[in-house]
Structure 1
Amino acid sequence: MMDHATIGQRVLATEIAALERLHAELGGPFNTVVDKLSALEGRIILAGVGKSGHVARKIAATLASTGSPSLYIHPTEASHGDMGMITSADAVIALSRSGETTELADLIAYCRRFSIPLIGMTAAKDSALGRASDYLLLLPDAEEACRETRAPTTSTTLQIALGDALSVALLEAKGFTAKDFKTYHPGGKLGATLATVAELMHTGDALPLTPSGTDMATALKVMSDKGFGCVGVVKDGTLIGMVTDGDIRRHLSDDIADQPIDAIMTRDPKTTTGERLAADALRDMTAGPNKIMQLFVLQDGAPIGLVHLHDFLRAGLI
């Protein structure tokens, strides 16, 4: 019987070797392209035909979602009117392994005519695309993993990897943050993991707070009225402790009714800040043996919010 895994390993080994070549050869031209694109006033236009076209669409989507306005244009459609979508403020990245894709000819001519920066991504430096490009992102001329037909395999892997490298380098050059990223990914699990604590927390009159020295009967009423199963203890506007319903249960056998809340509170409880990612705050609450259900949010020591485990559940983080 044919060993399919061996074939798969051969394909992966071929592509890994090509990626290692790309890694070793990446240098000056890549830096120049990133500098050019990070200062671009317009959009990054991706173009390619066939498998290169599919990769170009993927790169355009990655760029757009990481803070670099981008779109894909099919070269044939460009020749029939879509060229008007490209302005003098834009730059074009054209993908072609051979660099001799005839459908790119009109697009190349358009870039030359209107002085639109053309970035070629090809394995052939002396090809039509290689010679016409203002900036050249040269791919290793590596063998395709499909040796029998030379179907695009290794070459498209290299294109995708180089597109990812370009997208991340631009992201970091622009100082693009997780908060910015969430703007472009508001929905689904990804949007939830990029939410901040401030977006989930309860604030204002909803907070279960009581002054230091409050008797337990009063503190229990605050806890019951607010419905979070806890109460924070404040002194001079600063959170100094916290009591949960678990603390109450643990002290049921003690005579605590007439004692101040300070007698059973947990001093210096776990807290967080509004700027933190909600996913990080959730990890703080659930890590280790002492899991907690509530977390006060502080600003300069003062409680400004509260998040409950149920808030993370509603946000889709659990």
Structure 2
Amino acid sequence: MTLDRERALRLAQETFDIEAAAVQGLKQRTGEAFARAVEKMLAVRGRVVVMGIGKSGHIARKIAATLASTGTPAMFVHPAEASHGDLGMIKPIDLVLAVSNSGEVDEVTSLLPVIKRQGSTLIAMTGKPGSTLASHADIVLDSGVEKEACPLQLAPTASTTAQLALGDALAVALLDARGFRSEDFARSHPGGSLGRKLLTHLSDVMRTGEAVPQVSPDTSFTDLMREMSAKGLGASAIVDAQGKVLGIFTDGDLRRLIEKGADLRTSTAADVMHTQPRTIHPDALAVEAAQLMEQHRITSVLVVDGDGRLCGAVNSNDLMRAKVI
């Protein structure tokens, strides 16, 4: 079997054109029915139950996942399993979104009388507004396409793309209506990079107690260096008797003093410290510490309470280990 490269590329480009046209075609048919569907989904007291079988089932699963991750309680129920007991998962307070291009799939249509009898709102997403599914639905979303990208007009291609786009449009309209924010999204994705950035506070990742390098202002330069070396932060806080931060001394400060030829043998921490260091509160997000470091081109930040007392420290390596940066 030999590949005709030119034909393969031509078919790929035609597929893009056909599927793009399918999505564009939705704009002409998305109107009052779409708005009513969003209103019903926004007001539902239970969950949005998304159903579909075959390729439409794969799209339905994705729609359910997108809704759930953007603030609309949703789940996928397989129509065939629903006929054998899973229908009990659907309650009268739920809303059913049934996805079927033909609107005539037996596994879906056989459930319609039961869904309607128990009082659940039914929204149909179908390419056939005159189908059995559409006739039972409270609201019909027309996802029809002129043709499939498949040259044989058999495999669902443009039709599933249209379904996917229409599902995304519902999710976007709903998250906007709910005032859904990036912080809300992060709570649904605590294991992802966004979740770590928006949910991880400095108190979760900062060094505390004995792990925080700190000396008094009268500490000798030699002991200051011992403290820095022992704690491995790349810096040390200089604090008064009450633990309030007076300054900081970093590896960068050391390099600059050596370059100047300074005699450090008789110096104290107070002599070499940098006053008014950058500090941050423990309740701040860890990503804020990363932004502070980047803004001021520093590699460590002291963490202080409301009275300016040292309560922790963090450097860029700590944030990298926590996968915040």
TM-score normalised by the shorter chain: which range applies? 0.7 to 0.9
The alignment's TM-score, normalised by the length of structure 2, stands at 0.80
Structure 1 gap segments, 5+ residues each: none
Give yes or no for contact 1:53–1:74 (8 Å, CA) kept in 2: yes
Give yes or no for contact 1:197–1:281 (8 Å, CA) kept in 2: no
Flag the 1:67–1:240 CA change in 2: closer, same or farther, 3 A: farther
Equivalent position amino acid for 1:308 in 2: N
- Correspondence list, 1:197-212, <5 A: 197-198=201-202, 199-203=204-208, 206-209=211-214
Query: Which of 106, 114, 135 pairs up with 2:139?
Result: 135
Match for residue 252 of structure 2?
A: 246
Flag the 1:262–1:53 CA change in 2: closer, same or farther, 3 A: farther
- Correspondence list, 1:212-291, <5 A: 217=221, 219-220=224-225, 222-232=227-237, 242-252=248-258, 253-256=261-264, 257-258=266-267, 261=270, 263-265=272-274, 267=276, 269=278, 274-276=283-285, 278=287, 281-282=289-290, 285=293, 291=297
- Correspondence list, 1:1-318, <5 A: 1-3=4-6, 4-23=8-27, 25-187=29-191, 191-198=195-202, 199-203=204-208, 206-209=211-214, 217=221, 219-220=224-225, 222-232=227-237, 242-252=248-258, 253-256=261-264, 257-258=266-267, 261=270, 263-265=272-274, 267=276, 269=278, 274-276=283-285, 278=287, 281-282=289-290, 285=293, 291-297=297-303, 302=308, 305-316=312-323
Equivalent position amino acid for 1:314 in 2: R
> Larger deviation: 124-133 or 17-26?
17-26
**Deviations 1:20-47 (Å, cap 9, x if unpaired)?**
2224543433333223222322111111
Flag the 1:239–1:140 CA change in 2: closer, same or farther, 3 A: farther
TM-aligned CA deviation for residue 139 of structure 1: 1.7
The alignment's TM-score, normalised by the length of structure 1, stands at 0.81
Equivalent position amino acid for 1:55 in 2: I
Give yes or no for contact 2:201–2:283 (8 Å, CA) kept in 1: yes
Give yes or no for contact 2:215–2:236 (8 Å, CA) kept in 1: yes
> Larger deviation: 307-316 or 257-266?
257-266
TM-aligned CA deviation for residue 241 of structure 1: 5.0
Count of aligned pairs:
314
Residue 67 of structure 1: SS of its match in structure 2?
coil
**Deviations 1:122-176 (Å, cap 9, x if unpaired)?**
1222222222211222224332111323321011111112222222333333344
Percentage of pairs with the same residue: 40
Distance 1:13 1:293 in 2: 50
Equivalent position amino acid for 1:82 in 2: D
Distance 1:305 1:161 in 2: 48
Compute the RMSD of aligned alpha carbons.
3.3
Give yes or no for contact 1:90–1:116 (8 Å, CA) kept in 2: yes
Flag the 1:206–1:155 CA change in 2: closer, same or farther, 3 A: same
Residue 164 of structure 1: SS of its match in structure 2?
helix
